[in-house]
Structures are given as structure tokens and as C-alpha cells.
Amino acid sequence: MAAPKLARQIGFFDATMIVMGGIIGSGIFINGYVVAQQVHTSALILCAWVIGGVLALLGGFIWAELAARMPDVGGQYAYLREAYHPAVGFLYGWVLLLVIQTGGMAAVTVTFARYFLELSGLQFSDRVIGILALGVLTLVNCLGVKLGSRVQSALMVLKIAAICMLIAAGVFLIRSPHPMLHPLFDKPPSAGLIASMGAALIPVLFSYGGWQTAGFVAGEMKNPARDLPRALLMGVAGVTIIYVAVNWVYVRALGPEELIHTSVPASAVMRLALGERGAVLIAIGITISTLGFLSQSILTAPRVYFAMAEDGVFFRWAASINARTRVPVVAIVLQSIWTTVIAISGRYEQILNFVVSIDFVFFGLTAASLFVFRKREGVDAARGHSGYRVPGHPVTTGIFALISWLVVVNTIYRYPRNTLIGVAILLLGLPAYFLWHRQQKLGAHA
């Protein structure tokens, strides 16, 4: 009997919801005050979110062309593998599993549990509730990619509804005493102001990240070459509109000074609009949003470990596909187990501190891979290329790669110890890669 294959059951709508679900977690409900602490006028705060949205759209354009060129399972892992060397793709998958994806999932798992317990009044440990939620979503995704994507889409629709409620409450139920775009600056333009804007963009770019995870499930899309580029562009554009609108509501309702000292601006806005009932409603929205992010993470990232195992540079059993559900059950369970370990250990906050620089190293490398693929295809082939093309390349692609690496440089400057820990984890992947690669060669010659 032929070995079971992944099932192509994800359509355009579900793909768009996966893009948006990978970006929107709990950050949009919280990070507004972090940005306001760096730049102190409404205009500059909104400018930071607009710049972040433009950069996210540039990334969406680049990943759309990469997806059209290589609509394969594994997404970014496959782009890095084919552009540079299998070891580069492996190192990305290595840190994705060990810290980037699972560290973020562990943090969101505990956030979900805390909001859920506050709303329900149940007397349980937040880690117990978080692990139960993780287990249920893992089971759902093990039952088939169609069910997993439908659950993810349903949670994403509810998430959008909660955000629209927040925007509507801020616009129609709060009379703002705060000027919106005046003054433009709180101090004369200077190098210090540019540095402050750069610092403000770090949490903004972190909030916009996640669109790239949709490419992980390209091998299970009905028509990835057509649907994935469209989903990337529509999803990122939709999130940009949502993020700018939400932060416009924050500065309109609270003003920059109050926003700086409000660690939960979404709750503050809803409390102004509807009292304690509003705070409860947005807490429900945040709970749904965190659950949706977990669902999307469980649906997408395990396909990278599956692809690595298929390439022979990871545990072979991670490449197994369930004959009935046609999903990589072992890879899904592996990620959830490691996420649980990190959540129980309580180390997720430290992990998040040193993964930012590593994540953006691979953002820059992936964007630069487009130069490699364009050079390989040649000028004549490029003129006849019928797939999606990045507008403004090479300038737009170069800007995105450069900014990604500037984020890395800024993170190294600000947090050298955290960066060194991240680099150490990355480099530990090299002996692991050569060990698996050697085993693969010995198996091929046996």
C-alpha cells in the first residue's frame, strides 16, 4: 500500500484566516502602551503602527512571490533550504521548535488561562487550564487539517468581531478630549527622536509578525500557488487596517499620557465606554484571541518539523502521517509536548527576550533569498515569469531585509546577553544537523 499523503483541504478563505490568525494574538490588546512609552504624541504613535503595517505588507509581497515559486509544505523552511543550504533551513526549524514557536505558544497559553480563570471564577492553576486547552486544540488538529482549519477560521472570525466591538465602542461611545495629530512632535526632531521611533518599532514589528506561518501548510492547500499569495496580501492588509484603527481608538480615548501608564489599554477603553461590563466583554475577546493564536500555531508550525523529517534531518518518526486523518500527528504532538514543558517551567518570558533577534535574522535571510532565486532564473526567464512578482523589487525587498537586520543590530545593542543566549541555541543546531545528515547518508548507502 502507498504511504498516506497530506490532504489538500484548505481553501482561500481558511488560508486568509490562517494568515490573520498567525499575526493577531494578545499583543494588539496590550502593546499600545509599550509604543507610547517610546514616542509621546498621538501622531508619532500612529505613525509607528503605520510604518509597521507598511513593512508587514512589504514582507507579505515577498512571501507571496516565494509562495508562488515554491508552494511546498514547510514554507519558510523550504525557501531557506533551497536558496542557501539545507543546514540553513534546518537551523530555522531547530530554533522554531525549541524557542520561537513554542516559547510564544507557552506565553499565550498562560495568558489564555489567566483570562479564562478570571472570567469563570474557577479555582485551578493557570498552568492546568492552559495545558488542558492546549490538549484539546492538539486533539482537534490531529483529527484532520479540514477540522483544524475550520476551528481556526471560526476563532478568527470571533476575534475580528471582538476587535470591531472595541473599535466601535471607542468611536461611538467615548467623546475624546484629546487632540489627535497636534502636536506632531513633543520635542524638536533629532537623532534621539529617530532612536526612539526605532525602539517603538520593535514591539510594533513583533505584533505584526506571524504572516509567514501560513506558508507552512502550503502542502495542504487546494491551490497554493494561487491562493497563498492572495491570502498573504489580503490577510496582512486586513491586519494593518485593524491595528491602526485599534491604536487610533487608544490615543483618541486615552491620550498619549494616560496610554503610557495603562498596561491594558483595551480594557481601559472598554471600561470608559461600557463600565465593568465592557471590561468583561473585552476580556472574553482576549481569551478568544489567545485561543485562536494557539489553534493557528498547532495547525501550521508542525509541518516544518514534518518537512525536516522527510528531508532526513530530523527524527524519522516525525514524518509519519496518520492513515485516516492524513495529518502529521507525531509532529503536532511533539510541538505541544515541548510547549507544555516550557509553560510548566515558567521560562517563557525569558525565552521571548532572546528570540526576537534570531527570528529577524531569518526574516532578513528569507527576504534575501528572493535575490538568489531571481538570479538563478535569469533575465530571460524572469521576463516570461507568469507567477506573482514583488512590486518595486529589488528596492522593496532590500528595504525589508535591511530593516530586519537593523532590528537584529538594535536588539544586540540593547540586550547583548539575551542575544548571546539566542545565538548559542542557534549554533547548537549545527552538530545536530550534521549528526542527522550523516545518519541519512549512511542509511542511503546501506
Listing DSSP states for 374-410 in one string gives: HHHH-HHHHHT--S---TTTTHHHHHHHHHHHHHHHH
User: Is residue 267 one of the residues assigned to a domain?
Assistant: yes
Q: How confident is the model at residue 378 (pLDDT cuts 50, 70, 90)?
A: confident
Q: How confident is the model at residue 2 (pLDDT cuts 50, 70, 90)?
A: low
User: Is residue 65 one of the residues assigned to a domain?
Assistant: yes
User: Is residue 433 one of the residues assigned to a domain?
Assistant: no
**Which cell is 305 given?**
518539523
Q: What is the pLDDT of residues 315-324, one digit of tens each?
A: 999 999 999 9
Q: Which pLDDT score is estimated for 435?
A: 93
Q: Find the helix or strand (DSSP H, E) in which 429 lies.
A: helix 429-445
Instruction: Give residues with Cβ within 8 angstroms of 80, minimum separation 6.
Output: 88, 89, 92, 362, 365, 366, 369
Q: Which pLDDT score is estimated for 380?
A: 42
| Mean pLDDT, rounded, of the chain | 89
Grid-cell match 533551513, residue found: 89
Average pLDDT over residues 146-170: 95
Average pLDDT over residues 242-268: 92
CA-to-CA separations, 398 to 59, 303, 358, 368, in angstroms, rounded: 11, 28, 19, 7
Q: How many domains does the chain divide into?
A: 1
Distance CA 267, CA 278 (A): 7
Q: Which pLDDT score is estimated for 410?
A: 81
CB atoms within 10 A of CB 435: 11
Q: Which pLDDT score is estimated for 386?
A: 52
Q: Which pLDDT score is estimated for 381?
A: 52
Instruction: Give residues with Cβ within 8 angstroms of 158, minimum separation 6.
Output: 288, 292
User: Is residue 226 one of the residues assigned to a domain?
Assistant: yes
CATH number of residue 175's parent domain: 1.20.1740.10
Query: Of 142, 141, 160, which Cα lies nearest the Cα of 150?
Result: 141
User: Is residue 422 one of the residues assigned to a domain?
Assistant: no
Answer with the residue of higher pLDDT: 381 or 22. 22
Q: Which SS3 state, helix, strand or coil, does residue 10 take?
A: strand
Q: Which pLDDT score is estimated for 444?
A: 64
Instruction: State the residue range of the domain holding 176.
Output: 12-72+99-346
Grid-cell match 523550504, residue found: 78
Average pLDDT over residues 25-49: 90
User: Is residue 78 one of the residues assigned to a domain?
Assistant: no
**Which cell is 120 given?**
469563570
Distance CA 77, CA 87 (A): 10
Q: Which pLDDT score is estimated for 395?
A: 96
Q: Which pLDDT score is estimated for 445?
A: 57
Distance CA 80, CA 90 (A): 9
Q: Which pLDDT score is estimated for 25?
A: 86
Partnered with residue 221 across adjacent β-strands are 10
User: Is residue 198 one of the residues assigned to a domain?
Assistant: yes
Q: Which pLDDT score is estimated for 384?
A: 44
Average pLDDT over residues 368-392: 76
Q: What is the pLDDT of residues 88-133, one digit of tens each?
A: 999 999 999 999 999 889 989 988 999 999 899 888 888 899 999 9
Q: Which pLDDT score is estimated for 354?
A: 76
